[in-house]
Amino acid sequence: MRRVVITGMGAVTPIGLSKEEFWRSLLEGKSGVSHITRFDTSGFSVRIAAELKNFSPEKFFPPKKVRRLDRYTQFAICASREAVEDSEIDLSKEDTEKIGVIIGSGIGGIETWEEQHRKLLNDSPRFVSPFFVPMMIINSASAEIGIEFGLKGPNFCVASACASSGHAIGEAYRIIKDRRADVMLTGGTEAAITPTAVAGFANMKAISPRNDEPEKASRPFDKERDGFVLGEGAGILVLEEYEHAITRGKKPYCEVAGFGMTCDAYHITAPDPNGREAARVIKLALGEARLETVDYINAHGTSTPLNDKIETMAVKLALGEKNARKVAISSTKSMIGHLLGAAGACELIACVLSMRDGIAHPTINLENPDPECDLDYVPNKARKIKIESSLSNSFGFGGHNSCIALKTIS
């Protein structure tokens, strides 16, 4: 069987516009949550989010391109550029028919949709941009990345809510293993901090209304948690067939060793209270990776009452109570909020960097542990730990579950 490795990564997040800045901020326990600045939140019950406040598209794109790319696609291209540079791959020497792109997004170009809908209602149909549809559609990010680098291999998008980028990375892994490509750019992107999205999430009571303490609003596994915090950004990884990477002289970060996907088939937003399918997806990833347990888990860890409790239960069911209590677990969302379709990719990057540096980043704001969330969540301070294997969990609305297993190269 062909082995699949990670050779490049790029990230634009609320706490860093590169993977290394993102990583340093995670280790420092820096929160990216603050009051929303992208629109007037007067009248909104929730006025906080994890925005990319320092992201200026004009620094990365010419003016015409800025006007023709939704924010979520801008994020994806910027992260992809960093990932390709990090991989040190010379595309001019590669068969671009063997290099593909799979990008996940839960919502896609909602900012463009809202803007053009306002024009339709307030002005007239003739004011709607001719670029409206190609900017808004959810495959725009994967298509634009293909165009950016001239990649002609498999190219499509994945939309499975908060599991989108986990599924995208898993599918890219499968495509390389199945010899349909040698290299894949994959991950996720999201830019859904918009009036409609914030109002919708707030009205369904999914996001935290802790407006007076934004930096403390995302508190996974804490007894006082009251919802996730909406975030935005992108994470992109270069997956590559092992021999292909070695032949061109690139040392991989680690190996993608296993992938699992299941469905709760229970409810459109709530996880199944028995946690069985969340546990099974972990077991599937472990089984393919030929692991019984791991050293580290980057949890889905949303800071919602149900998710954190049931994910804890699922980890115990999958690993067994004894092994589960030995594993260090972090929630990246405690600092960057929930990036929806980009969450899994950014969290997998955190897993890779944890393995590279031998350190688990903290779960911040874990001040009052929930008795029902009783595992080792690396509270509030980063911890040195040898990590030879890790898991990244992603669970989405609709019961979509994904899990990716990583191992050090042997």
| Six token digits for residue 160 | 């499975």
128 by Cβ neighbours in 10 Å (0-12 / 13-18 / 19+) ranks as middle
pLDDT of residue 12: 98
Number of helices (H), then strands (E), belonging to the chain: the values are 14, 14
pLDDT of residue 280: 98
Active site residue 267: no
DSSP code at position 38: S
DSSP assignment string, 100-168: EEEEE-SS-SHHHHHHHHHHHHHT-GGGS-TTHHHHHSTTHHHHHHHHHHT--S-EEEE-BTBTHHHHH
Q: How many CB atoms neighbour CB 322 within 10 A?
A: 9
Give the domains, in start order, of the chain with CATH numbers: 4-247 (3.40.47.10), 259-407 (3.40.47.10)
Residues of the chain with pLDDT under 70: none
Say how far apart CA 379 and CA 401 lie, in whole Å: 25
Q: What are residue 356's phi and psi, to 5 degrees?
A: -60, -45
pTM (whole model) above 0.85 = yes
Catalytic residue, from 162, 346, 351, 373: name it: 162
| Six token digits for residue 255 | 């190996």
Active site residue 263: no
pLDDT of residue 410: 81
Using DSSP's 3-state secondary structure scheme, residue 353 falls into helix
Tell me the per-residue pLDDT of 183-239, one tens digit each, with 9 for 90 and over.
999 999 999 999 999 999 999 999 999 999 999 999 999 999 999 999 999 999 999
Active site residue 244: no
Catalytic residue, from 167, 244, 254, 300: name it: 300
Catalytic residue, from 78, 157, 254, 338: name it: 338
Using DSSP's 3-state secondary structure scheme, residue 410 falls into coil
pLDDT of residue 1: 81
